[in-house]
A and B are shown apart, each in its own frame.
Chain A
Amino acid sequence: MSEDVWKRRLARQRRRVELLEQLIEDKTRELFLANQRLQQSNTHLEERVKERTQALQDALSRAEAADLAKTRFLAQMSHELRTPLHGMLGTIDVLSYTKLTHRQKELLTLTHRSSNHLMVVINDILDYTKLEEGEMALDLVATDPGQLLEEVIEDFLSSASSKGLTLQITSRPETIGVEIDQHRMRQILSNVISNAIKFTTTGGVELRLTVDALSPEEVQLQWSVRDTGIGISPKHQANIFEPFKQADSSTARTFGGTGLGLAICRRLIDIMGGEILLESQPGEGTTITIITPHKVAFLAPKAASKPTPSFENIDVLLVDDNRINRVLGRDMLSLLGCSPRLASNGYEAIEQVKQAPPALIFMDCHMPRMSGAETSKVLRAQGYGGPIIALSADISLENKEEVIAAGMQELMGKPYHLTDLAQLISTWTSATPSHQLSPKQPPQDATLDIEQAVMAVGGNKALIKELLALFLTQLPIMMDAVRAAMDDPKAQHRAAHSLKGSSASIYATRLSQHAGLLEESGKQGICRPDLLGTLEELAQETTAAIQAELT
């Protein structure tokens, strides 16, 4: 290679090196600047992330505070709503035992029904809130599920009958003992049965209960409620268990309801570890099947009935800071034949007990200065050994545990009925009420409503006496017919129908209503000899009342 070419190659390579060095320097500078911009951008981004994180934390804190406020508000509302409701229902109860005209009784019945409905709605909302908060716990007790179902169905016989529907249990197992939260299971079954009746216009509702053993310690119950009602379209079946939803908006207008019932049922069943299934054909009917697992439990044998002293003059102390509740409680206790004493706070109660210990204390939980639990602790420390029953609108498991821990015997939820009060006094004093009370007695209940009977015959007292005397001669014959018909549903239906009509005509309402139950069972093809005992008692009561009237 010539020297000239060498020189040119060398010069080219030198220029190449210089150029490359220049390029490296330029790129290094560019890289440095880019790096600086990147760092600035990074810092800016970090600041923004910090600001956003803070904003999110603030929003979260606000949401949590609002949530807490909501829970507190609902707990407070629970108390605030139940307290006046207790005043209303209790007053209606007491009022129904006073002398009222027919029109007044009608109005009282309407008030009673509306108050009960309001309580159901409030309970639904509070239950749903508790379920949403995850605060619901089960109160399991040994129960015979078949018996439970029988008891639930009792509450619906008359509403089904008044719509001309049949309501019957077509299959149930022999007596078994399983752990059930009775209150919640009743709530679920009542909801499903009441829906079935509500959405059925012809035909009826059929209930089945079957039991499958899962292991020696565990069984699975399958409760099925089948109706011949309007059914639910496939489109609406998917959201029927969602809260605040009914099959469609026209359902709410036609049938009413909060749309919470089935949502609550489903959540309660979830807590129980079970499931709820729906099968429905529009126009043909719906079957709801509830499957729940239960532990096998030992059923305590029923205590043999023994003669018990009456409520007459039982010394009962009622402690409540609310004046209406005190007045109402006094009237209710007096109505039962007890001798009520009143205390408006814990200090007064302690003083009264010191002077003369009562046979039984009803103690309100929420009282200013000294709560029911605190008062009870003091009473126990001072040696009071009688039963103390807590009264509260809060019937949560926690509250139950708290009252038991304070030395009280049990918790009675507000509002309560006269019958609830009587049952508790009976349980804790082994006494029976001086006055006969029918459970959850509607205001129009009466052994013999002579005023109405007289009004019905235009005020002709002589005529009504003739009718009553005639009824007295006919009653034993009608009762014989009923007794003889206990193994033949058709005969039971006929005989009870006759008794129902005759007793209604002289306004022996309770006898008439009970005969109505027998009549309805007979119509459904079910013999109910178990209802005969009460019927006999009512017949005797009615006879005594008529005899008193005639003399």
Chain B
Amino acid sequence: MLLLTVLTIVTVQLSMNRVASPPTGLTVLDSAVIKASSNAVWFILADPGPSNLGVTNARPPGVYYAALSDWTATGFVYGMCLNMPQPMVLDSNPSYADQSNGQPKTSQRAIVAFGGPLVHAVVNYYETRRLTPLYFYHDQAAGQYQFRRSSDGAVAYGLPVADVTSGQKDLLMVEAFTDSSGNTVFIGYGFTFRGTYAMGKLLKARIAPNISSYAYSWYVYKWEDLNGDGFQDLNEISANPVAYGI
């Protein structure tokens, strides 16, 4: 009876997207994206707004227009795909995402969505429902931007806001998980465009060549502008993740 009750609760929670599926290691990027067959991966870009796009699209509540800088990180992964074509679409395209909340309109597919929850409707959808391993949090009391764990709300890693806004430091995060529709979702971004770009480069230059060793679901790295040139050099990204987990 107890078992039945537990199963019922879990089933209900799963249907409500309250319980994450079993952890998905970043390793699956190789099979689910890089080596995926044609038209198997949706690369979903954040809408850059009418001044950039020439078209005005509505945004889900709490989601703003993106800077185009976030697209570069997506390019790194798109460029790695062995089989073309792969759809590259906007998060504001109603054929691909529910425009009321950002939920992708697909199942059993790989999704790449790079950009923070404030500008990317799909990322916003997953994070606000705590379906991602990590979520962005601005801890005003602590004066920090943080990545927190969805499982328990604990701080995975944070940086003082002043460090981030100075342009000298950033955190970058990449994570993989499976949503309730069976989609394998890859999300990555930094607190600023610097971190998002660095994340893309890190994926290409350091993670992808050793992808089999990235078995955890999420990784956080730190970038610090050691030479003061404003550019995210690979050797300025922490050699090891500053935090990681399942």
Specify whether A and B are partners.
no
Q: Which residues of A contact B (CB under 8 A)?
A: none
Q: Which residues of B contact A (CB under 8 A)?
A: none
